[in-house]
Amino acid sequence: MINISVLGYGTVGSGVVEVLNKNRDSIKKRAGQEINVKYVLDLRDFKGDPIEDKIVHDYSIIANDPDVRIVVETMGGVNPAYEFVKEALLNGKSVCTSNKELVAKHGAELLEIAKQGKVNFLFEASVGGGIPIIRPLNQSLTADEIEEITGILNGTTNYILTKMSYEGCQYEVALKEAQEKGYAEKNPQADVEGFDACRKIAILTSLAYGMQVDHEDIYTEGITKITDVDIAYAKSIGAVIKIFGTSKKVGDKVFAMIAPMMIKSDNPLYSVNDVYNAIFVKGNLLGNVMFYGAGAGKLPTASAVVSDVVDATKHLGTNIMTIWSSKKLVLADINEMEQRFFVRIPNAQKDKVKDVFGEVEGVAAGIEGEYGFITNTLTEREYKKKVNGFTVRSMIRVGF
C-alpha cells in the first residue's frame, strides 16, 4: 500500500478521491499496490463527508510525514501551490498536479528538483484534461523532431464557437449559455481572451523543444471579437472558426500564438466540437497525429491525475526523465509568421484590393455593403503593411 495526500478538495481534488474509490481494484492492479489517501488538505472541514477524518489544515503535517510518498496538487494558482510542491519534492515525495499555471511558470525548476531527488513531477492533467498528451509527447513521440503542435485547448471557447457556428447565435448568447451550463466562469476572461490556452501551449512547446517557453511571450488573441457575420462568411465556403493554440518550427525559428483560425474539413481539428479538446502534432518523420477527448470536467481531469499517481507509484525511486531545461526559448517575432488572412472591408474599398493584395479569393456571404476576401500567403508584417489604409471590419487567420 502506498500513501498519498491530496492538496485541495475542490472539483478536481474530490474527483481524484472519487476515481480512486470507484476504480479501486483495477487501479491497484495497474499500480501494483493499493493507493490510499492519507490526508486531504483544505481550509474547509467537510463535516459528514467520508473524507472528513482525513482533512488537515496544516500543510506541514503532510510535508513532514515520510509515509506520504505522493502528493496530488489540485489547488490551482501559483501560490501557495509552488511552495507546497517544491517542499514535497525536496522531501522526497513525487507530485502529480493538474495546475497549468504552476507548470507553465515553474515546470522546469520543479522537474529539475524531482530529477535530483529521484522522485517524479507529473502533470498530465494540466493540458487537455483527460486527453493523454503530456506522456505521449514525452515518451511516445521521442523519435521525431516536432514541427508543429496545434490544439483546441480550451473547452469553453470551443463550446461558444460551436454554438455560434451550428446554431447561428451571437457571441453573447453563446457565452451566456456556456455560463448557465457551468462551462464558463462568471468572469470568463481567462478562457475567452485565450489566457488559459496560452499557458497550455507554453507547456506543450516547452516539452517539444526541451526549453522554457514563457507564456507572456506568446501572442494571444481571444474570441471576443468574433461575430455571427464572421461565422456566416466562414460557412459560405464550408469553413468553421476555431481558436487554436499553436507553435510551429520553421527552420530554426519557433513561432507560437493563440488566435482564432478559419479551417476547412480537411483539417483533423474541423470536427472537434462542443467542449471537446484535441491536440494535433506533426513530427518530421511520423507525420500527423492527433489526440482527442474531454478537455475538462471533474472526472476526466481526475482520471488523468490518477494515471500520474499510478505512474509515480510504478516509478518509486526512479526519475522518469523529462527534458525541459530552464534555458529560455526565444520565440520568433510573430510578424515573420506566414499565413493567409481573411479580411472584411466596406464595399467601397473593394476596388483597391487587387492593386494592394494582387489576386485574392473573394468570399461572398451576402452581407450588404461589405466585401470579404482571403489573401495569398503573407507574413503578418506584410499583411499589416498592405492592410493599412483599409477599414478592416475583421481579420481572421486562415488555415488552408
Footprint of a copy of itself (CB under 8 A): 19, 22-23, 26-27, 29-32, 124, 130-132, 135-136, 139-145, 210, 265, 268, 270-271, 283-294, 297, 299-300, 302-307, 309-311, 314, 318, 320-321, 323
Q: What is the DSSP string of 224-239?
A: TT--HHHHHHHHHTT-
Q: Which of 54, 200, 249, 386 is catalytic?
A: 200
Q: Using CA atoms, how far apart are residues 112 and 123, in angstroms rounded to an integer?
A: 14
Q: Count the neighbouring beta carbons within 10 Å of the beta carbon of residue 207.
A: 25
Nearer to a copy of itself, 223 or 329 (CB): 329
Nearer to a copy of itself, 139 or 377 (CB): 139
Q: Using CA atoms, how far apart are residues 155 and 397, in angstroms rounded to an integer?
A: 20
**Residue 90: which of 68, 119, 65 has the closest Cα?**
119
Q: How far is the CB of 18 from a copy of itself (least distance, A)?
A: 8
Q: Count the neighbouring beta carbons within 10 Å of the beta carbon of residue 30.
A: 15
Nearer to a copy of itself, 76 or 283 (CB): 283
Nearer to a copy of itself, 76 or 136 (CB): 136
Q: What is the DSSP string of 20-46?
A: HHHTHHHHHHHHSS-EEEEEEE-SS--
| Residue ranges of E strands in the chain | 2-7, 35-41, 55-56, 68-73, 94-97, 121-122, 146-152, 219-220, 240-250, 253-263, 276-283, 287-294, 338-346, 361-363, 370-374, 378-379, 394-398
Q: How far is the CB of 215 from a copy of itself (least distance, A)?
A: 24
Q: Using CA atoms, how far apart are residues 354 and 133, in angstroms rounded to an integer?
A: 44
Q: How far is the CB of 153 from a copy of itself (least distance, A)?
A: 15
Q: How far is the CB of 19 from a copy of itself (least distance, A)?
A: 5
In the annotation, is 200 catalytic? Answer: yes
Q: How far is the CB of 304 from a copy of itself (least distance, A)?
A: 8
Nearer to a copy of itself, 29 or 328 (CB): 29
Q: Using CA atoms, how far apart are residues 68 and 203, in angstroms rounded to an integer?
A: 28
Task: Report whether the peptide linkage leading into residue 346 is cis, meaning its omega lies within 30 degrees of zero.
Answer: no
List active site positions.
Answer: 200
